[in-house]
Structure 1
Amino acid sequence: MAKLTALENAVLKDVSPDELWNTTAYLSGIERVSGKEGEYRSVEWLAGKLKDYGIPYDIYEFDAYLSYPIRASLRVLSPEAKEIRAKTRSFGFPTPPQGLEGEVVFVESKVKGIGFQQLDNQYEGIDVKGKIVLTERGGPDGVLDAMRAGAIAHIHMWPSNEDVIHEMISTSVWGTPTPESAARIPSIPSISVNHESGEYIRRLCAQGPVRVRLTALTETRWAKEKMVVATVPGSEEPDKYFLVGGHLDSRYVGTTENATGNAAMLELARVLNLHRHELRRTVKVGWWVGHSYGRYAGSTWYCDTFFNDLRKNCVGYMDIDSPGVKGATVYDEMTCMMENWHIAEGAIRDVAGVPAKRERPPRAGDYSFYGPGLPSMFMLMGNRPTEERFAVGGSGLGWWWHTEYDTLEWADRDVLAQDTKIYALAILRVVQSPVLPYKHTPVADEMIETLRGIAAEVGGRFDFEPVFAALDALKQAAQAADAAIPNIPAEKAAAANKAILTVERTLIPINYTRCGAFDHDPAHFVPAMPLMDDARKLARLDANSNDYKFLLTRLVRSRNLILDQLAVATEALQSIAAL
């Protein structure tokens, strides 16, 4: 365990379990539905608390395209009659009032649950046109693939066996749609059933034709959003800031998804403000709205609106979701980029005294800041023990996630205090470092390993050697820069930080995005180095086909882009080593 600084000790000591619990309890009494009264009331309450603490804040208003699930029904018509419990989803297409009838087809998938883990050509060779799909693949990419395959409705059977139905969102569009992305908004109904009900229908399908009638009602419309962002000013580099964010809106009262996170954010703002005169850089805290009803509409709006400022001045991002869950003290799926994993891992070790395991950031949560190149850490916090986990996307992997049962009984005061201290320590270790403490050798290693895997699958169908050479140069420069950073004198820190941010702004978009810096990829699985990963398709295509040669052309252009950005990052790293 590292020795804590005086400021770190003081900040951790000032974290108040009482303040955390009082905020959690208050917000747990409000259904914080996006664009509605409960969310507005929560924004105003948070603003009032910030005012009481003497913390500057802004309340932003904007229009967001949101979708509210209302109700659904499902009835098996033949070979026997049975009513099935069901829920519709945000952005699921509504049926006519009389419902929709059709034959059900069960379609197997290697992807279970809500997706984001890998791609799946699920409907290849399977005719689902005019039929209703039943599947365990329930992510937005699964709904989109079913729609494109010609299915008339999508039924997701939950893969784990909890006797509840989770609220979900069907669209893959990240934030408010554009004319181009709007085509991906589902045009078919999408409903959920629990595992037991899904297995019942699946068994019927194995015996012969099954017909069902389903109804689904959603309200999809523009709504006025209000979003509060606090600013705790730094004293030495006030224009440079670390951004902390987490979603305010909830399904039902959403105690562990995400009232506990909102409480942690407010407490971080309060405690850091007590020590603002000692902070080197500013900390901003944003309570994102439109997360569950608009696919991260709030964080996406903030990224789009303040893109240039984020790119110029933001030194990092932390996402806070589902901390403080009862029994959730196993830190074995910690979302983090490679360059700051040592910071996150060290904070967990120094506060909780336990090891942690990293996962690469998925295309999920409010990770809306790949474009401006923000080194990012955390999403969900600790998990419950393995035997108490379910196939869900938060709440410590507890069964109550995104249901009406996510109430105060599942939060834990002591765990929330511990998690908040982990956040605080990680923030301080970025904000207080004269030279930003990011390590780029692990980033280069990850990219090299990724490209090796792609090249092995592609064989000799594409020339990766220029990229390997550029990555080798990047790694050499990163090793020299990482070794130099601890010894850079104070008068050269600004130059070093400018170069470090240049590295982040160039490497993050090519390592995490297909669309590049100025748009937002869909909420689908996105592999590492996605522009090069597309080369894997060559192994499945006829080398004489148009598809093969068209893809080769795009890969050459993608390689040019990657080589250009690697050269920029390498030059910036070399400049650090030369300081």
Structure 2
Amino acid sequence: MSQQVANSAALSDIETRVVDDISVDEPWSLLEEFSELERVSGTEDEVRAAEYITEQLDEFGVKYDRYDPELYISQPHDASVRTLNREFEFGPVKTISFAASTTVSGKVEYVGSAGTDLLSQEDDAREPYTDVGDLNDKIALTAAGSLSIRATRILEEKGAIGVIAIHEHDREPHNGIATPIWGGAPRLDEADKIPNIPIVNVRKPDGAQLREWADSEEGLKVELETDLTTDWMECPVVVAEIEGSGDTDEFVLLHGHYDSWYVGITDNATGDAGLLELARVINNYGDELDRNLRVAWWPGHSTGRYAGSTWYADEFAHDLVENCVAQVNMDSPGAKGATEYADMSCWTPEAHALVGDAINDVTGAPYGENHPFRAGDYSFDNIGLTGFFMLSSNIPADVREENGWHPVGGCGGNSDAWHVSTDTLDKAGKEELVRDIRVYAVSLLRVLNADVLPFDHVRNADRLIEIVEEYDKEAGEAFDFGPTLAELYPLRDDIESFQEAAHDGDVTPAVANDTITGLARILTRLNLVRRTQFEQDPAVKREPFPRYSPARKFAFLEGDDRKFLQVQLKREQNGVIHELRQARDLLPEA
């Protein structure tokens, strides 16, 4: 396939050769194979998909390991809603992973929405449904749609015996997952966070009718029935290794999920095809790489809340801490009509120039920086890995609006594909897929072969300063973040001096790279993570610098709650200052 590179003069010799070697043939063959496989984790179709990947790796001469860990998976099978005091014919009804498998009946109460949308970067500081009262023995009807992850627990705590979520899709509701437990399997002391009530999703027209009846004088009574299997299941994890020529254990982790809802072509067969093509092509250049490339295909993304990548983060935690210089996620590339990288791609601040230059050089397309979502297979945030991509290219917003598509978190923004039965082969574009694979290839090579890692932690520090200044302003007299800023301002300047010295050759590459990676372990964690390095934050939306984000609650807290938050933030600030001083100690002396 002939496709013009926007700025070929900016590509190095190896980048040019790799880009030229990328073809649509092997990727499209995988899509055709996967278009016949419903790759739900724990099923034979998923195993067949893993075997296809390993067969191709064998053919390409790429070394790999296959693991078969037991993952905690929840497979939805069937669901129904039956009106008890009305006559109604429902369209498609679905339950979601980790809902309870049971039957309940009761009166329906409409509770509104959770108050945020899928792509929002800011949570309401208040909990959802603050104006909803006692729901004992009632079934909650909510317009939260796929936001039931955060909403369900609150409705359950208010006494709801079941939840009906109204989705924006007119034809069928999206598939989804209810648990906030990242990785599916909880710690023993968090097992109660898995929902204990049935949850069903209905399409928008059906939801509108249910709401009308629920709000009427007569009211609405329904019976919910859900059927799921939630259990430990063996699921293949495939990890390929392309060894560079350098005498180093350093590696870049390129990864994506291969399980799916239905046949899931643009979520994520296109990503699987891209991973395989990059493994095929880059394997031919191993003797020209300074670092190693690890390529991984995860199961358990959809029905296990990123269970495969979480298992890997747990199993290889110290290898990742000590040797992984970056993680790169490949999810939903190559959607037909995706022409820009504006509102779905994301990266940590220090990777901005790297990613932006790669997009510019390969495509010349518009792009925008997004704070990394607490989603995808970003199961390595707590470790403190620089990360880039997750989603990649997107269909422009005006085209999505023209098509009447509501916001979704994948498939290039095509809501008629994301987590529904119509994510089929026709949703992928050959030119779009090759272009996206090339963007990944160039950005990867610029890390794999960098003398000094191309990550700008001045930008990371600037972002942290911006966030803390914002929280300090919002907290007002209730809390003083000045001590944090007093550490960040000089740290930022010291990082700038270090980076200038490293790029001028006044710091050896080995020392510079150890410092850059060490800074990521601290600054990237502060930007993204609330918990400790070897724990997983819950799968709910996050704001930047999440340890400090509760400061936004001062706007409505009073009395003891206000003082309790002051105690919390005082302790958080003590920890943050300690970590910032550790970051300062990483910097080599001038």
Give the structure-2-normalised TM-score. Answer: 0.93
Does structure 2 retain, via aligned residues, the 8 Å contact 1:105–1:131?
A: no
Partner residue of 2:42? Answer: 35
The residue identity in structure 1 corresponding to 2:379 is S
- 1:271 is displaced (CA, Å) by 0.7
The more displaced of 196-205 and 418-427 is 196-205
Deviations for 1:196-246, whole angstroms, at most 9, x for unmatched residues?
Answer: 211222222333322222211111111112111000001114410000010
Partner residue of 1:498? Answer: 514
The 1:181/1:216 distance shift into structure 2, 3 A limit, reads same
Partner residue of 1:342? Answer: 353
State how 1:500-579 maps to structure 2 within 5 Å: 500-543=516-559, 545=560, 547-572=561-586, 574-575=587-588, 578=590
The 1:180/1:416 distance shift into structure 2, 3 A limit, reads same
Does structure 2 retain, via aligned residues, the 8 Å contact 1:73–1:84?
A: no
State how 1:346-357 maps to structure 2 within 5 Å: 346-357=357-368
Q: Of 319, 326, 332, which residue of structure 2 is paired with 1:309?
A: 319
Does structure 1 retain, via aligned residues, the 8 Å contact 2:170–2:204?
A: yes
Secondary structure of 1:335's counterpart equals coil
Secondary structure of 1:359's counterpart equals coil
Alignment of 1:60 with 2:70, yes or no, is: no
- The whole-number CA distance in structure 2 between the counterparts of 1:327 and 1:301 is 34
Deviations for 1:383-438, whole angstroms, at most 9, x for unmatched residues?
Answer: 12323243222111111211221111111111110000000001011111011110
Q: Of 89, 109, 123, which residue of structure 2 is paired with 1:118?
A: 123
- The whole-number CA distance in structure 1 between the counterparts of 2:330 and 2:367 is 17
The residue identity in structure 1 corresponding to 2:417 is W
Secondary structure of 1:87's counterpart equals strand
Partner residue of 2:106? Answer: 101
The residue identity in structure 2 corresponding to 1:341 is H
Partner residue of 2:83? Answer: 76
The more displaced of 113-122 and 549-558 is 113-122
Partner residue of 2:173? Answer: 165
Does structure 1 retain, via aligned residues, the 8 Å contact 2:347–2:369?
A: yes
The more displaced of 385-394 and 521-530 is 385-394
- The whole-number CA distance in structure 1 between the counterparts of 2:524 and 2:562 is 28
- The whole-number CA distance in structure 1 between the counterparts of 2:291 and 2:105 is 57
Partner residue of 2:224? Answer: 214
- The whole-number CA distance in structure 2 between the counterparts of 1:84 and 1:77 is 17
- The whole-number CA distance in structure 1 between the counterparts of 2:239 and 2:351 is 24
Partner residue of 1:265? Answer: 275
Q: Of 418, 424, 431, which residue of structure 1 is paired with 2:441?
A: 424
Give the % identical residues.
37
Does structure 1 retain, via aligned residues, the 8 Å contact 2:106–2:137?
A: no
The more displaced of 476-485 and 335-344 is 476-485
Alignment of 1:326 with 2:341, yes or no, is: no
Alignment of 1:385 with 2:380, yes or no, is: no
- 1:115 is displaced (CA, Å) by 7.6
Considering only aligned residues, what root-mean-square deviation do their CA atoms show, in Å? 1.8
- 1:550 is displaced (CA, Å) by 2.9
Structure 2 unaligned regions, length at least 5: 1-6
The residue identity in structure 1 corresponding to 2:350 is E
- The whole-number CA distance in structure 2 between the counterparts of 1:131 and 1:114 is 30
Partner residue of 1:17? Answer: 24
Partner residue of 2:475? Answer: 458
Does structure 2 retain, via aligned residues, the 8 Å contact 1:243–1:317?
A: yes
Partner residue of 2:3? Answer: none
The 1:112/1:149 distance shift into structure 2, 3 A limit, reads farther
- 1:76 is displaced (CA, Å) by 2.8
The more displaced of 239-248 and 215-224 is 215-224
The residue identity in structure 2 corresponding to 1:125 is D
Q: Of 503, 514, 519, which residue of structure 2 is paired with 1:486?
A: 503
The residue identity in structure 2 corresponding to 1:478 is I
Structure 1 unaligned regions, length at least 5: none
Give the structure-1-normalised TM-score. Answer: 0.95
Secondary structure of 2:155's counterpart equals helix
- 1:82 is displaced (CA, Å) by 4.5
Partner residue of 2:265? Answer: 255
- The whole-number CA distance in structure 2 between the counterparts of 1:19 and 1:484 is 44
Partner residue of 1:444? Answer: 461
The residue identity in structure 2 corresponding to 1:417 is V
State how 1:80-91 maps to structure 2 within 5 Å: 81-91=88-98
- The whole-number CA distance in structure 2 between the counterparts of 1:310 and 1:336 is 18
- The whole-number CA distance in structure 2 between the counterparts of 1:213 and 1:21 is 44
